[in-house]
Amino acid sequence: MKVGFIGLGTMGAPMAMNIQAGGFDLVVHDVNPPAAGALMDSGATWADNPAAVASWSDVVLLSLPGPAEVAAVLTGTGGIADGAGAGLLVFDLSTNAPTEVRRLHDEMAEKGVTLLDAPVSGGPQGARSGKLAVLVGGDEAAFIRGLPVLQAMADQPIYVGPIGAGSIAKLVHNLSGYMIQTALAECFTMGVAAGLDAESMWSAIRKCALGRARTFDRMGIQYLPGKFEPPDFTLKLATKDVRLAVELGREFDVPMALAEMTLTELNAGMERGWADQDSRAPMKLQEERAGVAVRIPPERIAEIMDSE
């Protein structure tokens, strides 16, 4: 199987190297030709533009900065659409907009090209080590056909669903991470301002409940099955704890914007009469606002957890 790789930056170059190490013939392209040096020294072939990559390849992978670059490489002058033969598979490893991915998928399909969105998660270290998740949306048969290539660069290639599904999953993951880091900054500045040194605080807290469990695994206990009774920890006690933390922040003049929002949500749950339900019950408020229910049957949660 001949593999093309376009975009040899911080993530792309090590992913391409792992694919090459997996025994695949590789053709590469980048707007910065010297970025291909190490790959070409190891036997990769240089292509002058994306069209040339497409004309040579069975599978092409894109590792590009964002939607504009992906669109240009796929459909611009000298792009993949200009050189692709029918049956070409293209995996977009970039973090892209789901609506844009769907549009490009339909446009490329007219050329006989199957586009799959396949954003990766694991960072540069994961790109080098192969400890990567690849979240794939698109035709499942095409995913299976390209799976050997993905497995050469990632230990967790995951089929998520139809086109756009991979991008949605990646955006949920990244938004969760950056929201959590923003909250942690607020919480830890409160702790230091109140007089606790960072090392003692971090060393202790990482051994508590949040530190012991994987963040997303905890969702399977109450929230995803929608089971808030009997509680693990009641909403009324959680509200008391958050109120005390907010008051501590105020005492030491620490801005507590996220904590104030959290307390408002918990108080709204209390006003609904959920005081004796689990502390995660106020998560239902956001479901009501969004008009969706985030639910997974308990038996499926158990199967997913047991499969890992």
Output the pLDDT for position 283.
Answer: 94
Calculate mean pLDDT across residues 147-162: 98
Output the pLDDT for position 308.
Answer: 67
DSSP H helical segments within the chain, as ranges? 12-21, 37-41, 50-56, 67-75, 80-83, 98-109, 123-129, 140-153, 165-193, 198-205, 209-212, 215-218, 235-251, 257-271, 283-290, 298-306
Residue whose entry in the numeric block shows the structure tokens 């240089």 = 46
d(CA 163, CA 263): 38
Q: How many CB atoms lie within 10 A of CB 296?
A: 15
Residue whose entry in the numeric block shows the structure tokens 């979240």 = 135
**DSSP class of 234:** B
Calculate mean pLDDT across residues 278-292: 95
- Radius of gyration over every alpha carbon of the chain, rounded to an integer in angstroms: 24
- Domains, the chain: 2-169 (3.40.50.720), 213-306 (1.10.1040.10)
Residue whose entry in the numeric block shows the structure tokens 């905890």 = 218
Portion of the chain with pLDDT greater than 70, in percent:
100
How many angstroms separate the Cα of 232 from the Cα of each of 75, 205, 208, 280? 53, 19, 15, 9
Cα–Cα nearest to 114, from 103, 122, 106: 106
The predicted model scores a pTM of 0.89
pLDDT at 142 over 90: yes
Percent helix, strand and coil across the chain, each rounded to 5? 55, 15, 35
Rounded to 5°, angle at Cα 132 from 106 and 31: 60
Output the pLDDT for position 214.
Answer: 87
Calculate mean pLDDT across residues 182-193: 93
Calculate mean pLDDT across residues 184-204: 93
Portion of the chain with pLDDT greater than 90, in percent:
93
How many angstroms separate the Cα of 183 from the Cα of each of 125, 215, 239, 240? 25, 14, 17, 18
Q: Which two tokens stand for residue 62?
A: 């894109």
Output the pLDDT for position 215.
Answer: 87
Calculate mean pLDDT across residues 179-188: 92
> 9-19 pLDDT, tens per residue?
999 999 999 99
Note if 2 is an active site residue.
no
How many angstroms separate the Cα of 190 from the Cα of each of 185, 210, 224, 225? 9, 18, 31, 33
pLDDT at 213 over 90: no
Output the pLDDT for position 76.
Answer: 95
> 68-122 pLDDT, tens per residue?
999 999 999 999 999 999 999 999 999 999 999 999 999 999 999 999 999 999 9
Q: CB within 8 A of 34, min separation 6: which ones?
A: none
Rounded to 5°, angle at Cα 274 from 272 and 277: 165
Q: Which two tokens stand for residue 277?
A: 């339900």
Question: Active site residue: 170, 227, 236, 284, which one?
Answer: 170
Place 143 in a pLDDT band, splitting at 50, 70 and 90: very high
